[in-house]
Amino acid sequence: MKICIAFFRIGLAIFRRMCYNKKERALCSRIVAFEILIIVEERTADMLYTEDHIGKIMISDNYLRQLTEQTVMQCFGVAGFAETKLTDKLFSGRFSPVEIHADGSQLEISLHVKVMYGVNMPAVIHALMHKVEFTVQEAVRVPVSRVRVYVDEVVEP
Q: Is residue 50 part of a domain?
A: no
The pTM of the full predicted model, rounded to 2 decimals, is: 0.66
> What pLDDT, on the 0 to 100 scale, is given for residue 72?
95
| Mean pLDDT within 16-34 | 52
**DSSP, res 118:** T
Which residue type, as a one-letter code, is found at position 153? Answer: E
Please give the distance of CA 41 from its chain centroid, rounded to a whole number.
Answer: 15
Do residues 83 and 139 both lie within one domain? yes
Residue numbers of the domain that contains 20: 2-45
Quick check: 40 pLDDT over 50?
A: no
| Mean pLDDT within 77-102 | 77
Quick check: 51 pLDDT over 60?
A: yes
Do residues 65 and 40 both lie within one domain? no
Q: Is residue 51 part of a domain?
A: no
Most confident of 53-67, 77-91, 133-147: 133-147
| Mean pLDDT within 5-9 | 43
> What pLDDT, on the 0 to 100 scale, is given for residue 55?
83
Question: Is-contact 48 64, C-beta < 8 A?
Answer: yes
Do residues 41 and 111 both lie within one domain? no
Do residues 129 and 74 both lie within one domain? yes
> Residue 85 and residue 43: Cα distance in Å, rounded?
26
**Window from 27-31, 82-86, 128-132 with minimum mean pLDDT:** 27-31
Question: 108 φ, ψ to 5°?
Answer: -120, 130
Do residues 40 and 6 both lie within one domain? yes
Q: Is residue 65 part of a domain?
A: yes
Quick check: 27 pLDDT over 60?
A: no
**Window from 12-21, 72-81, 126-135 with minimum mean pLDDT:** 12-21
> Residue 128 and residue 149: Cα distance in Å, rounded?
8
Do residues 61 and 108 both lie within one domain? yes
54-59 contact pairs (CB < 8 A, 24+): 59/140, 59/142
